[in-house]
Amino acid sequence: MAHSWVRMFWELVRIISISLQWLAVTSEPGIHQDVLISSVGEMTHNIILNNFGGAACVGVITEINSDVIDYIPKSLLRFHIQIGRNDSILKLEESDTLDYASLSDGTLAFERLLIESLNAGCPAYVIQVSNPKPVIHCFARASRRAMFRANRQYLYLPILQGSTIYDIPDMNADDIFTMKEMNYMPDLVVARIVLQNKNKRDGINTNHRFKSFKNIGIKKYNLEGRNNSTQRECTESNSSIIVGTVTSKFKIELRTHRFVGSETSKNVLIDVWLPNSGECTGKFLRSLDLFPDKTRDVKGKELTLVTWYYPPFVILDLYANPPLYDGIEFRVVREFLRYINSTFRVTSDPENYWGDAFDNGTGNGVLGFVAMDQADIGFSAFYAWPSSFKVVDFPASHMRSSVTMVTPQPKLLPGWMVPLAPFSSTMWGAVGACLVGSTYILYNLQRFVDKYLGNSQDKVNPFSKMDYTALRTYAMLVNQAPTFSWNSNVPRHVPARHFVAWFQFLGEVISDTYNAGLASVLSSPRYEPPIETIEDLANRDVIWAGNHVAWIWSIEEDDNPNLQTITENFRCLTNEQMNEIGQRSGDLAFGIERLQGGHFTTEPHINGGTVKHRRIMRGTLYWSHLYILLRKGSPYMRHFRTLVSRVRDAGLPLYWEGDVIRRYMSERLQLQISTSRIPVGNLGPTKLNLDQLQGVFFLLVLGEVLGFIAFVAEFTYGKN
């Protein structure tokens, strides 16, 4: 409590001091407040021309007055948001929460307009408000919801009106540069009006200390011959006199935070705007680049990485001495950190794996940490998931991967199916169609012959009866010839005799083929068809499991019926549960990733004990390019894409895949997974056993039961 009161006291002293200085300046004769506004405006116009002349638009946020809008070049589209005049945006809430539901209506209305300008692609914003902190918080939230992603530049101007200086405590650059949002806002410049000492009014004090900013990499503008005809011209005859009078009393300093190194929030002077230098308009003292590239060399700045142990992408042991950091994706990130001269620290949320980001601004796992700005870079084999893309950025892909499954091994066909095994379902369908068609044709043929060639004195052909025809046709398929004695001299017997002769030949061929297939089935084991494709997974209703719902993110919204069935059959289990089930039986399938080099990810439940009950599926469930996560609009995006493209084009991820597996993983397990499709066990001739005769005995019992039922029915109805 005492510390809070002391801080409030010194803040009040600072405010009073600034106000007294401003009153001293504006109360002197010959000083016009319009000149201060004009000087700030001319400086803003110059900055926009030099830095954003080719931009599509510029965002402008003002409060109290909007005079600065007149100094924005007319060639640029301007998105202007006024705070205070609009009834819906009277005041912004100073809160860094990411939960939109807890914000005031005015703040939400402001952020809706801000998102509209962000989506328009405005690369720069000119902001003139009394308290920049709420605006900075709004930019942090709005950039999460905007779909257009870019690292933007911000210019914060002092707020002026009449001869009054408003309470602007947060225009103290040190307060702004220590905000956590500065970790991903390197291109933020604060303009401050600084009063000159009275004994130096006759000349400009140019002895400014730029030493602290030399290491950032500043470029000078070559302004010779530059056409400044688009700037405001001094049309009033006394403008030079007014500016000359005021120039000796103030200057405008442009400050930013160092961003790089260990002192990231250090206040750094970039340049000084001199309102008058013998010309109509002012100029910069050194004409430096106000928005230098601070991310190419961050001079050892520490970045936060979030990941978890997921071999071979990430090999992590935080408790080793020294800690072990390796893996395919970790090597990619290391190359980037070396490229920008950065150090790192690693955080992890292993219980939530890939994680999730929620509408209330919270999150967990890799995705949640990056979305909440608790980490600068996140990685763990992230696919191009639309739900993740809404809250983070995907730089260039470094490799690709696919998801397949280790599915239950095919089981032996049950003994009762042995009589059916020699023929496929299609073949059985053909045999059935042949039997039915032949019975119908033979019966109708004999009826036709009896009608047109028959004689009342001839012996009646039994094929003129449907029941006899059906039974004899089936008998001929099992090599039983008709017992009817044909008479070639009887015309009505000739057509049926020829048909029966050819059908007996067909029955002989079908019977011999069946016998050969049956001999093969009885001498070697027969298995059910293996699971090889997406259609097999859906048709067989295979239950499969993973340790996170991320396994179904790529297919859960697909309208393919097979993928919908597979999604419904997914179960989210812990590694321990999957290992216990997998060791015990092979009834549960597991999701597994197949890398571009043909290797596989091996989580704790993918081991020798679980793989021996399963086989790798030939097909792919889905595939995707892999991405490393950055914050939405991350300032590191451009250099990260450059580095990743170089690494990918050099083929390093493919080499690292094999190297990491050889160093840290079991090549024996990799071989076991890749060869699990090869059947194992006794596949040669086997002795005939009782199980293989189950089907025969089943048919025998079925025939006896049906015969007994037919006998009882005939006896009962025949007697009546």
**Dist. CA 379–CA 393, nearest whole Å:** 12
Is the pLDDT at 300 greater than 60, yes or no?
yes
- Shared domain check, 50 and 92: yes
Q: Any idea which of 305-319, 350-364, 675-689 has the lowest mean pLDDT?
A: 675-689
Of 541-545, 649-653, 674-678, the range with the lowest mean pLDDT is 674-678
Indicate whether 360 and 442 sit together in one domain.
no
Decide if pLDDT at 249 tops 60.
yes
Q: Higher confidence at residue 229 or residue 407?
A: 407
pLDDT, average across residues 488-513: 78
Q: What was the pLDDT predicted at 594? A: 96
**Would you state the structure tokens that stand for residue 157, as one six-digit string?**
């101007």
Give the per-residue pLDDT at 629.
96
pLDDT in the model for residue 513 = 86
Task: State residue 7's pLDDT score.
Answer: 54
pLDDT of amino acid 25:
45
Using pLDDT thresholds of 50, 70 and 90, give the confidence band for residue 134. Answer: very high
Residue 642 lies in a domain: yes
Question: Is 552 in the same domain as 480?
Answer: no
pLDDT band of 681, cuts 50, 70, 90: low
Q: Are 132 and 15 contained in the same domain?
A: yes
* pLDDT for position 359: 85
Whether 90 and 213 map to the same domain: the answer is yes
pLDDT of residue 235 exceeding 60: no
Burial class (CB in 10 A: 0-12, 13-18, 19+), 147: exposed
How many domains does one find in the chain? 4
Q: How confident is the model at residue 707 (pLDDT cuts 50, 70, 90)?
A: confident
| Confidence class for position 605, pLDDT limits 50, 70, 90 | very high
Q: Of 16-25, 51-60, 276-285, which range is least confident? A: 16-25
Mean local confidence (pLDDT), 59-80: 89
Give the position of tokens 């705070």.
Answer: 83
Tokens coding 8:
């409030």
What pLDDT is stored for residue 420 in this prediction? 81
- pLDDT above 80 (res 682): no
The pLDDT assigned to 352 comes to 93
- The pLDDT of residue 26 is 47
| Rounded percentage of the chain residues whose pLDDT exceeds 70 | 81
Which of 251, 284, 317 marks a domain boundary? 284
Say how far residue 261 (Cα) sits from the centre of its chain: 32
Between 365 and 214, the more confident residue is: 365
The answer to whether residue 228 sits within a structural domain is: no
pLDDT at res. 204: 40
* Range from 10-19, 247-256, 364-373, 411-420 carrying the lowest mean pLDDT: 10-19
Residue 231 has pLDDT above 60, yes or no: no
pLDDT given for residue 169 in this prediction: 42
Give 462 or 316, the one with higher predicted confidence: 316
Residue 165: predicted pLDDT: 45
CB 371 within 8 A of CB 306: no
Of residues 679 and 386, more confidently modeled: 386
Range of the domain at 455: 422-523
Better pLDDT: 214 or 100: 100
**CATH number, domain at 462?**
1.10.287
309 and 275 within one domain: no
Residue 238 pLDDT: 37
Is 296 within a domain? no
Of the three residues 466, 496, 523, the one that is the final residue of a domain is 523
Task: State the pLDDT at residue 335.
Answer: 97
Q: Is the pLDDT score of 278 beyond 50?
A: no
pLDDT of residue 201: 42
Does the structure show a pLDDT above 60 at 672?
yes
Q: Which CATH number fits the domain that encloses residue 396?
A: 3.40.190.10
Average pLDDT over residues 397-417: 89
End position of a domain, from candidates 523, 558, 575? 523
Question: Can you tell me the mean pLDDT for 522-529?
Answer: 78
Phi, psi of 626 (to 5 degrees): -100, 145
Q: What confidence score (pLDDT) does residue 239 get?
A: 38
pLDDT at 160: 74
pTM of structure: 0.78
Residue type, 704: E
Helices 33-52 and 239-247 pack at an angle, to 10 degrees, of: 90
Given this model, what pLDDT does residue 490 score?
67
Q: What confidence category does residue 480 fall into, taking pLDDT thresholds of 50, 70 and 90?
A: confident
Tell which wins on pLDDT, 621 or 56. 621
Alpha carbon 343 to its chain's center: 26
Q: Are residues 700 and 606 in the same domain?
A: no
User: Does 185 fall in a domain?
Assistant: yes
Alpha helical stretches, state H, 478-595: 494-523, 534-539, 561-568, 575-584
Stretch among 275-284, 338-347, 459-468, 551-560 having the lowest mean pLDDT: 275-284
Cα separation of 615 and 673, whole Å? Answer: 7
- Using the predicted structure, report yes or no on whether residue 31 has a pLDDT greater than 50: no
In a domain, 707, yes or no: yes
Strand partners, 324: 317
- Rounded Cα–Cα distance for residues 404 and 573 (Å): 18
Whether residue 233 lies inside any domain: the answer is no
Token readout for 493 is: 């017997």
The arithmetic mean of pLDDT across residues 448-460, rounded, is 68
The pLDDT value given to residue 88: 67
Instruction: Read off the pLDDT band of 11 (50, 70, 90).
Output: low
Q: Which of 150-164, 258-272, 555-569 has the lowest mean pLDDT?
A: 150-164
Q: Which residue would you say has higher pLDDT here, 687 or 704?
A: 704
429 falls within a domain:
yes
SS3 per-residue string spanning 604-662: CCCCHHHHCCEEECCCCCEEEEEEEEEECCCCCHHHHHHHHHHHHHCCHHHHHHHHHHH
Does 47 share its domain with 59?
Answer: yes
List the beta strands (DSSP E) in 124-282.
Answer: 124-128, 153-156, 188-195, 250-257, 267-274
User: How much is the average pLDDT of 21-27?
Assistant: 48
Q: What is the predicted pLDDT for the residue at 29?
A: 43
pLDDT for the residue 348: 93
One domain for residues 161 and 207: yes
Mean pLDDT, residues 427-450: 85
199-203, 246-250, 252-256: range with highest mean pLDDT: 252-256
Does 459 have pLDDT greater than 70?
no
97, part of any domain:
yes
Provide the 10 A C-beta neighbour count for residue 179. Answer: 19
pLDDT > 80? residue 1 = no
Q: What average pLDDT does the segment 609-614 reach?
A: 92
Lowest-confidence region among 198-202, 245-249, 590-594, 648-652: 198-202
pLDDT at 582 over 70: yes
The Cα–Cα gap between 716 and 720 comes to 7
The CATH number of residue 35's host domain is 3.40.50.2300
Whether 374 and 267 map to the same domain: the answer is no
Tell me what the pLDDT averaged over the chain comes to.
Answer: 82
Residues near 303 by beta carbon (within 8 Å), at least 6 away in sequence? 337, 342, 343, 344, 345, 376, 377
Helix segments in 315-424, DSSP class H: 328-339, 365-371, 386-389
- Using only the alpha carbons of the chain, give its radius of gyration: 42
Give the pLDDT of residue 180: 92
Based on the number of CB atoms within 10 Å of its own CB, is 162 exposed (0-12), middle (13-18) or buried (19 or more)? exposed
H helices of 340-418, in order, are 365-371, 386-389
pLDDT at 115: 94
Half-sphere exposure of 709 (CA within 13 A, CB side): 6
Assess whether 307 and 431 both reside in one domain: no
User: Are 394 and 338 contained in the same domain?
Assistant: yes
| Span of 9-18, 383-392, 604-613 with lowest mean pLDDT | 9-18
Instruction: Quote the CA–CA distance of 445 and 452 in Å, as a whole number.
Output: 11
Indicate if the pLDDT at residue 648 is higher than 70.
yes
